[in-house]
């Protein structure tokens, strides 16, 4: 509908020029130019929003959930882990920091248990002796016997 209005606006401006009403035609053309520039701005904004949505969808297709943490698939590589809480709440991929028996998010302070599969993803420890230690409780305040 807007295109039809612009097409008729340009025809009206041409008719005004033919009738010698140059001032009226100029005013009409300035108005059409302002509308055109506004549409160009809106078009740029919409393109940017579309690009952002495409990036989010692309990211969502490459994020894998292992039951407690997220991993990012890039080709044949798996990067991470990333905080499930931060990604679900805010769409943020925050790297989890490895500790002795859990992963910790520095952003929201959530903790995630390590698993043998995850252990292979962690950087190698510098310890040479294997120590036995207490398991980390899943919930704070939970006593282990």
The domain limits of the chain are 2-60, 63-119
121: pLDDT strictly greater than 60: no
pLDDT one-digit tens code per residue, 68-120? 899 998 888 889 899 999 998 988 889 999 988 889 999 999 888 887 554 44
| Structure confidence at residue 31 as a pLDDT band (50, 70, 90) | very high
State the DSSP code for 140.
T
Q: Which residues of 97-112 are buried (b: 16+ CB within 10 A; e: fewer)?
A: ebeeebbebeeeebbb
Q: How many CA atoms lie within 13 A of 127 on its CB side?
A: 6
pLDDT value at residue 117: 52
pLDDT value at residue 27: 95
| Structure confidence at residue 54 as a pLDDT band (50, 70, 90) | confident
pLDDT value at residue 6: 67
- Comparison of pLDDT for 144 and 19, the residue scoring more: 19
Q: What's the token pair of residue 142?
A: 């939970």
pLDDT value at residue 8: 85
% of the chain beyond a pLDDT of 90: 41
pLDDT value at residue 96: 92
141: pLDDT strictly greater than 80: no
142: pLDDT strictly greater than 50: no
CB neighbours of residue 80 within 10 Å: 20
């Amino acid at each position: 509908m807007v295109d039809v209005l612009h097409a008729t606006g340009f025809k009206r401006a041409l008719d005004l020029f033919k009738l010698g009403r140059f001032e009226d035609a100029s005013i009409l053309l300035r108005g059409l130019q302002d509308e055109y520039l506004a549409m160009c701005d809106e078009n740029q904004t919409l393109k940017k929003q579309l690009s952002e949505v495409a990036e989010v969808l692309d990211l969502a297709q490459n994020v894998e959930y292992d039951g407690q943490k997220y991993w990012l698939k890039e080709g044949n590589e798996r990067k991470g882990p990333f905080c499930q809480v931060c990604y679900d709440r805010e769409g943020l991929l925050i790297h989890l920091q490895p500790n002795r028996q859990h992963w910790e998010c520095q952003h929201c302070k959530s903790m995630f248990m390590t698993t043998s599969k995850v252990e292979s993803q962690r950087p190698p420890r510098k310890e040479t002796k294997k120590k036995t230690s207490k398991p980390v409780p899943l919930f704070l305040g939970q006593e282990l016997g």
